[in-house]
């Protein structure tokens, strides 16, 4: 049995966007008189949305001080959203193979919705996906199952026949909360050991493993 559909996280799963995210964050931090951070440190902060990223980069800021930092980071990122960002190796081959099987595919990110769509479009990935969705409210952010289940309803697919693919503990939790099959990837922003601790249904080390996971 093969799954009916796939929902993919974006950053750290389909694309390596770390340097562009870190550059935008560091420009915003410097603009607000705050210490900047190396990319390796930023790597551990990504995945919960822009506001949380900024809060992790500048711990202890009051809400009134945090909001200007968030707005600045978003502004810098919008102006340079795809400079160094690229799909990970074998991602395009994997998507081509799934598309050839007429699998339904979606992107679900905690990145703001407009930025999610912009990145997917600029990288010419949009033709693979029937749904591309980022965060529109705090309540709908992963690990909330609401957006994932909305996509399942849109497709007319049972959640248990959808593979949810991501690189973070949040993605594994989202799959569990949605009743979907969790597929963790080892090439993203979270270490292999940490993601294994969340007990995903599958762990893959190469995108080309994904199309064959459920074959009997």
Hey, which residues are catalytic here? 9
CB atoms within 10 A of CB 138: 10
Cis previous bond, 49, omega within 30:
no
Structure tokens, 134: 């980022």
The SS3 call for residue 17 is coil
Structure tokens, 6: 């796939």
Between helices 169-178 and 146-155, what is the axis angle to 10°? 50
> Do 72 and 19 form a contact (C-beta atoms < 8 A)?
no
């Amino acid at each position: 049995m093969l799954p009916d559909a796939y929902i993919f996280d974006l950053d750290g799963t389909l694309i390596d966007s770390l340097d562009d995210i870190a550059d935008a964050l560091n420009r915003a931090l410097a603009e607000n008189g705050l210490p900047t951070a190396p990319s390796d440190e930023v790597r551990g902060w990504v995945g919960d949305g822009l506001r949380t990223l900024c809060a992790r980069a500048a711990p202890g800021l009051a809400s009134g001080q945090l909001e200007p930092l968030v707005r600045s980071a978003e502004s810098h990122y919008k102006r340079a959203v795809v400079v160094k960002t690229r799909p990970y190796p074998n991602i395009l081959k994997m998507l081509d193979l799934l598309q050839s099987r007429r699998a339904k595919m979606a992107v679900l990110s905690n990145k703001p919705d407009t930025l999610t769509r912009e990145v997917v479009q600029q990288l010419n990935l949009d033709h693979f996906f029937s749904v591309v969705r980022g965060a529109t409210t705090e309540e709908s952010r992963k690990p909330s199952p609401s957006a994932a289940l909305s996509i399942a309803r849109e497709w007319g697919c049972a959640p248990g026949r959808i593979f949810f693919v991501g690189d973070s503990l949040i993605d594994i939790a989202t799959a569990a909360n949605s009743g979907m099959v969790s597929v963790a990837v080892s090439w993203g922003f979270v270490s292999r050991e940490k993601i294994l601790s969340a007990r995903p249904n599958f762990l893959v080390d190469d995108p080309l493993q994904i199309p064959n996971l459920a074959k009997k």
